[in-house]
Chains A and B, each alone.
Chain A
């Protein structure tokens, strides 16, 4: 193809061989260790304070390393992990319902549509049980039963009850647990916390990641922070779509800067679209709010049978309604997996049968459930969600069916890492949503929290020391090193550039337009023609951006427009790579659906012969270079998913 070139395949991911259950133990045993007395002399930078970054910073500090932690928010407690609602999976088998490490491993590989690494996923399932122990010991108030033991529920269509939860605020409680462990280390002087600091560049010296350039968002001061290793835990890039369930500040800049410095970006086109979000209400919309997936347990999804039927929902008689999920997927009905539910909603809206402003919405109707179970029962189950819905839309879901529409929620792609979570730049480790490793092409519900904490509490603290054990041989660097000076100068120059354009459009207007292109062509359904068009449009818009954007104020002090401008500039480059990745992957798998590749009845058609690999992209400044990492399936054999 004309848009990229192909480079060498990735031969070694550093995963040990042997039986899969023994690999993680072997890796830990073979890892080099650092003498406790020497740990204090080693500095680790951790960017991001969510579940992955917060838990990693706390754990590394407990081990004795000197940690410097950074986040763009005003406090580490505000990282967007806090918004996760549903729960966290763990193979505890407390229910005696047939769960096991192997089953969680199996479900995750299958749920990822066979595009993840078996070794990594197995390790994730193994440490999942330690996570629950750890969080309980920290005082995370999980839901409990009357006997005082932990309650679990089934989530996202799983057939075992392995999801631990704290009402609808599991992410918040887990994050606060990690945050408190982190604050303890801050109080002890082991972690140097830098809130309201944004990483704007990675410092690479002698081929190794040795630090970052950050901007103090309050004073505007730009400084270089040096260390023996850098850990990125900066989250996903869903905000490339402008509208998503991510927080407004979520961005790709840390990852993208590292990518530009040599870290490969893997599977950028894998994005998860969540089917139950509150639809857009107008042009002013700034973000989308997720409504818990659990609503589909009792709500029925429908649209009018006729196009452009503008009657109020209560005026549409039963036989003029299309309960399309129940019709197309009789055995799973309203509980089909996220990607299928999302695409089905898009299809009916494309047919002109969508409801609400702009025709972008479908009904999620609780009338039957209220009649069957009574209003009280529904209130007990979903009361807080109904309240939230009413607060945002002004409609009472007890009386009027909810309107929902899919929204971008999670990005499975991210920086490529090996089994040790090290990127293709030595010394740069990537954890949590920022890496690509465990979810393949689709993430199962309640697995994001599991992966973030697994990486931060248990995996990285065991693999990073292996790298740090050789730190004695690293080149000495200080702020005057030419590579450090150059990195800093590049940041300053870019900021000056953004401030000096002084054009006639706001950053948000560009971001919104970029989001529309991505949603249209690189969203739930992708086609070759659409993706090619999108690439052209993105390039044209990016050029406009650099000529016409207006960033008011200066680089001194708090300047939220400047922050946004830098982030959007990086989103432009990422967006192009996402489209190229989506274009090159001529198959449908998980969150990536290519219209040309579907079964006769409209389901995703994988092509395991040609595409059972991880696409790791190398940045060149011109055409990206594709490196393939072949995926081997020794334990779980690829099958076609079917939910009919």
Chain B
């Protein structure tokens, strides 16, 4: 099939950037979306032009590196699918496809479609962990975990940190990402001692990074390629309310 692509080109962080139109012909429906971009880039290089920079790595939907806004949808039209797993059979001959980077102040554009998502790492560093220095762990079976809690924790832990939630959110909020980690750790007995300091630390880091506030719209969960449920945000809110009330810091509470 033959396609028209309109791709965001931006030389560097300081450049203003613009949409540029390219024609790509003979695209096989068996190609992945990124392979289609590979084909374009091969051609651009041989024509003496700069290839389009885009982030990608594992190309099997788990590393979270790929990050394309395709026709106004994070990771494109197929639900539960990252851009690297999206295949061209989802499009039709003659389509025009707009490709843009994630847009958020907290994710500044590095070049073309590549953005800097370091803000997510900072949120994790501010509390998204359980303090368990190597060697200090008790025997694994000393603390049983109810299966339903373990399963729900896993569901939240499946987040790949791609940032689609932020890209899709009308408020540019990263609350689903933050809530997924808060939920995972607060559902496990190992996560209890730091439960309330964690949520405060992470939400503060989220706000400091320049993400917008959450208004419970739900675009994030609709865009999430891993199906992180929206109710994780409720869990975060509950923990946050408890943490900000005086009781949470009181011994024995």
| A interface residues with partner B (beta carbon < 8 Å) | 55, 58-59, 62, 73-78, 80, 82-83, 92, 94, 130, 132-134, 136-139, 141-150, 166-167, 169, 172-173, 176, 179-181, 183-184, 186-187, 193, 195, 218, 245, 247-249, 281-282, 284-287, 289-290, 388, 391-394, 457-458, 461, 504, 506, 508-509, 550, 552-553, 557-558, 560-561
Contact = CB atoms under 8 A, between A and B. Distances in A.
Given A144-B145, A181-B132, A195-B121, 12 more contacts: A62-B133, A74-B55, A74-B116, A74-B118, A82-B62, A147-B144, A148-B145, A148-B150, A284-B30, A286-B34, A289-B60, A561-B45
Contacts of A286: 32, 34-35, 38, 59
A284 B31 contact: yes
A282 B30 contact: yes
Contacts of A393: 30
Contact of B62 (A147, A169, A550): A169
Contacts, number: 222
A149 B85 contact: no
Interface stretch (B93-101, B122-130, B207-215, B244-252): B122-130
Contacts of A143: 150, 154
Interface stretch (B164-172, B185-193, B229-237): B185-193
B62 A172 contact: yes
Contact of A248 (B56, B131, B191): B56
B42 A83 contact: no
Interface of B: 11-12, 28-32, 34-36, 38-39, 42, 44-46, 48-51, 53, 55-65, 78, 81, 85, 87, 89, 110-111, 114, 116-118, 120-121, 124-126, 128-141, 143-147, 150-151, 153-154, 157-158, 160-161, 184-185, 188, 190-191
Contacts of B50: 552-553
A77 B125 contact: no
A77 B60 CA distance: 15
Contacts of A132: 140
Contact of B59 (A149, A150, A248): A248
B129 A184 contact: yes
B233 to A, nearest CB: 19
A633 to B, nearest CB: 32
A126 to B, nearest CB: 14
Contacts of A504: 46
B157 A176 contact: yes
B12 A73 contact: no
A205 to B, nearest CB: 30
Given A80-B57, A392-B87, A150 B121 contact: no
Contact of B134 (A139, A144, A147, A457): A457
Given A144-B147, A388-B85, A195 B118 contact: yes
B118 A75 contact: yes
Contacts of B138: 133, 137
Given A82-B62, A83-B60, A166-B154, A394 B30 contact: yes
Contact of B111 (A169, A187, A289, A558): A558
A405 to B, nearest CB: 15
A168 B107 CA distance: 30
A127 to B, nearest CB: 11
Contacts of B59: 247-248, 286-287, 289
Nearest to A286: B35
A284 B117 contact: no
B144 A550 contact: no
B124 A55 contact: no
8 smallest CB-CB distances across A and B, nearest first, come from A148-B144, A187-B125, A180-B129, A137-B137, A137-B132, A141-B154, A133-B137, A281-B30
Contacts of A391: 78, 81, 85, 87
B149 to A, nearest CB: 9
A133 B139 contact: yes
A148 B32 CA distance: 41
30 contacts: A55-B134, A75-B118, A78-B58, A80-B57, A82-B58, A138-B190, A139-B130, A143-B150, A144-B146, A146-B147, A148-B144, A148-B150, A166-B154, A172-B62, A179-B124, A183-B125, A187-B125, A187-B126, A247-B57, A248-B56, A284-B35, A284-B38, A286-B34, A286-B35, A290-B60, A388-B61, A457-B134, A458-B135, A504-B46, A558-B114
Nearest to B48: A552
Nearest to A554: B50
B99 to A, nearest CB: 16
A310 to B, nearest CB: 18
Contacts of B35: 284-286
Nearest to A76: B121
Contacts of A141: 150-151, 153-154, 157, 184, 188
A463 to B, nearest CB: 14
Given A150-B141, A506-B42, A550-B45, A167 B62 contact: no
Nearest to B11: A557
A77 B134 contact: no
A551 to B, nearest CB: 8
B177 to A, nearest CB: 12
A174 to B, nearest CB: 11
A181 B96 CA distance: 44
B154 to A, nearest CB: 4
A238 to B, nearest CB: 13
